[in-house]
Amino acid sequence: MSLRRKLLLVALCTLALPIAGWLYVRQMEALLREGQAQALLASAGAVARSLVVTGAVQSAPARGWYVQSAAGPITVDGYGDDWAPLTPWSQSLGQHGKLLLAADDTWLYLYADVRDTRRTRADAADVGALAADHLILTLSNAAGQRRYLLASAAPGSLTARPLDPAVDGLPELIAAQWQEDGSGYHVELRLPRNLRLHALGVGVYDASAGGDRMASDTRPLIRYSETLSGELAQLVPDRVQARVLAPQGWLLARSGRLDTTPGSDGQPGWFASLVYRSLLATRLEDADLWSQDVPRLDTAEVGAAGGGKPVAVWRNGEERGSVVLAAAVPIQHAGKVDGVLLLEQASRAVPLLANKALLGLLLTSFGVLLVAGGILLAFATRLSLRLGRLRNAAERAQLNDGRLDGLFERGKFPMTDAPDEIGDLARSFERLFEVVGGYTDYLRTLASKLSHELNTPLAIVKSSLDNLEHALQERSALPAEAQPYLARARDGVARLGALVRAMSESSRMERSILAAEPEDVDLRDVVRGCADAYRPLIDTRRLECTLPDTPLYLHCAPELIAQALDKLLDNALSFTPPNGWLRLELRSTPDGAEIELANQGPPLPATMQGRLFDSLVSLRDKATPGDAPHLGLGLYVVRLVAERHGGIASARNLDDGSGVAFSLRLHGMPRQRLSG
């Protein structure tokens, strides 16, 4: 990763600033909401205590039948079409079905939906009517209680038969409608509102299941109270909606409406609302659960308040960008919960304040981030350019022959006059190249100096030996026992001369290898051409050449590779028996190519495997007197060629012990940079 990208990542760390600000705004918004919630809970508690003092809320029964307000005219025909708006809040009749009660200014309506697929039919006037499927209707007022039997042998109209003596204020006969379908039967009737009923009971008898034929579930009637609504309106603060609920959540009274009109700051847009609800609001309830026009609220908060625990909750408002705070407190008298007071207040101030704070913080943070990022990017660019100049100067420092280009005199190396750390680095580079340049010049000329200095002593020794032999031969014949010593002396002089020449030759070879020009070639052609040229030179030995099926291109110096193969072949022939084999193989590697030459022969000594490719190292037998000595430069050349191509040269014994293999791994030579 480049220096500029690293510093850019460092600049991105300043993103912690807007994140920390976002967390702060979120916490501030939560504290604002908590403060409003506590204030509304206190108001709700005060209103609840006032309702208890005035006695506006009567003691609520543990169970009751709730009478809804009729949404429209209801026709008593035994069908549930008119009851569709009220069906979601039907009340259970145990396992038998559901019950709906509704009232308008004149009538109290009842609709019972009974599930019964195996029916036993009889009219209410029949003697055995109590043994058939039927309903028991119980009416109760201040004077007493009376039960009625509702049964029918066929769909249509029916008249309920009283089962108890007459009671003042309760009707003698009740007309009803009985309808049936595949799932059961439906009974619909109406009663005058002036009966002033205190309680009502409904019992369902299933002849196929048995049970108590006269039983009914009698409960007090719970209904919306206009009187309580008037009392509530006098106690509720402005711009607050209040609802009094039974402990089970049924609506008893309501006052006020939620004020969702835009304030002086206007109505936030959809994006601001989305930002607030997704980034700032910690938790908002669904508005559908708190609808303003439902007869019952069945939420966890209302249930908790019905159990005696005050609860506050924030929910989404019906209007865009608004939120609603709801506070539910129990209405308690003598340790008993008579109902639940629910106060709701719409607010746009909290979302608007939070959005403005977040927007201002984000704009400031991103402005700081852009400035800091721009400064760091400019600094990184300048630093990268300065380091690039140092790199380019270091890359141009060495010429192909190993000499330095002479730009390292005092004041010539770039940025040596800079007062910062880059200047210190440049001055260190300058001193380093001065020392390395001097030492390189010394090493480069050492071999030629030694060879020049040794040539004169060697010439003196050689001429002295010649004169000694000539003088001895003039006086008399050279003694036979002196001839071996003289021959050994001549052989030693020849070896010393060869070593002196080798030192000069190795220096020239290094420079010639470094000066080689690369090109893109198919290595198959290079290896194939070398193999074809080697076959006439190996006498009776066998040479196998294995090449890949597809071209293998490499940016290299083909003449150097051929020279390295020549050295490997020359080395292999020295150890391969006359009828032995050689195997030359070229294969592709993930990062280049590998050439391996294996030959039959003795294994490599373990102590020499790490030194085979050093200069003047050889494993061949010492030459006999008079033969030219082997100088050990062949494998050294192979190593230089491999390193020039970014690879390595290695040797190993074959797994089966039949011979050795020398490998030349090549990665390719670097491409020349075009200087502009």
pLDDT in tens, 228-274: 999 999 898 888 889 999 988 899 999 987 765 554 444 555 555 55
How far apart are alpha carbons 220 and 478 in whole angstroms?
153
506: which 2 tokens? 């190795």
pLDDT, residue 213, reads: 92
Cβ distance 200 to 222 under 8 Å? no
Residue at 372 is within a domain: no
Q: Same domain, yes or no, for 447 and 344?
A: no
**Beta-carbon-side half-sphere exposure of residue 579 (alpha carbons within 13 Å):** 0
Q: Same domain, yes or no, for 454 and 489?
A: yes
Q: Same domain, yes or no, for 584 and 613?
A: yes
pLDDT, residue 420, reads: 84
pLDDT, residue 180, reads: 93
The domain boundary, picked from 462, 481, 514, lies at 514
Residue 474 maps to which CATH number?
A: 1.10.287
Q: Same domain, yes or no, for 522 and 542?
A: yes
Residue 132 maps to which CATH number?
A: 2.60.40.1190
Residue at 376 is within a domain: no
Q: Same domain, yes or no, for 431 and 312?
A: no
pLDDT, residue 585, reads: 95
Q: Can you list the residues of the chain whose pLDDT is less than 50?
A: 263-266, 400-401, 409-411, 621-631, 675-676
pLDDT, residue 349, reads: 55
Residue at 371 is within a domain: no
Q: How far apart are the first and last CA of the chain?
A: 26
Transcribe 558-605 into DSSP letters: HHHHHHHHHHHHHHHHTTS-TT-EEEEEEEEETTEEEEEEEEESPPPP
pLDDT, residue 136, reads: 95
Q: What is the DSSP letter of 430?
A: H
Percentage of the chain beyond pLDDT 70 is 79
Backbone angles phi, psi at 503, to 5 degrees: -60, -40
pLDDT, residue 320, reads: 60
Residue at 385 is within a domain: no
Residue 282 maps to which CATH number?
A: 3.30.450.20
Torsion angle, CA of 202/206/209/210, rounded to 10 degrees? Answer: 70
Kindly report the number of other CB atoms within 10 A of residue 121's CB atom: 18
Cβ distance 91 to 98 under 8 Å? yes
Residue at 121 is within a domain: yes
pLDDT, residue 621, reads: 47
Q: Which long-range contacts (CB under 8 A, 24 or more apart) does 428-435 make?
A: 429/390, 429/393, 429/394, 433/397, 433/404, 433/408, 434/408
Q: Same domain, yes or no, for 69 and 209?
A: yes
pLDDT, residue 463, reads: 85
Q: Same domain, yes or no, for 304 and 342?
A: yes
Residue at 406 is within a domain: no
How far apart are alpha carbons 45 and 50 in whole angstroms?
9
Q: Same domain, yes or no, for 314 and 440?
A: no
Q: Same domain, yes or no, for 478 and 529?
A: no
Rg of the chain over Cα atoms, rounded to whole angstroms, equals 55
**H-helix or E-strand containing 496?**
helix 483-514
283: containing domain: 3-59+226-357
Q: Same domain, yes or no, for 502 and 571?
A: no
Residue at 238 is within a domain: yes
The domain boundary, picked from 357, 372, 400, lies at 357
The amino acid that residue 122 corresponds to is A
The domain boundary, picked from 331, 357, 383, lies at 357
Q: Same domain, yes or no, for 72 and 138?
A: yes
Residue at 98 is within a domain: yes
Kindly report the number of other CB atoms within 10 A of residue 192's CB atom: 11
pLDDT by residue (tens digit) across 577-597? 999 999 999 999 998 999 999
Q: What is the pTM of this model?
A: 0.52
Number of domains in the chain: 4
Q: Same domain, yes or no, for 496 and 547?
A: no
pLDDT, residue 352, reads: 54
Q: What is the DSSP letter of 142?
A: T
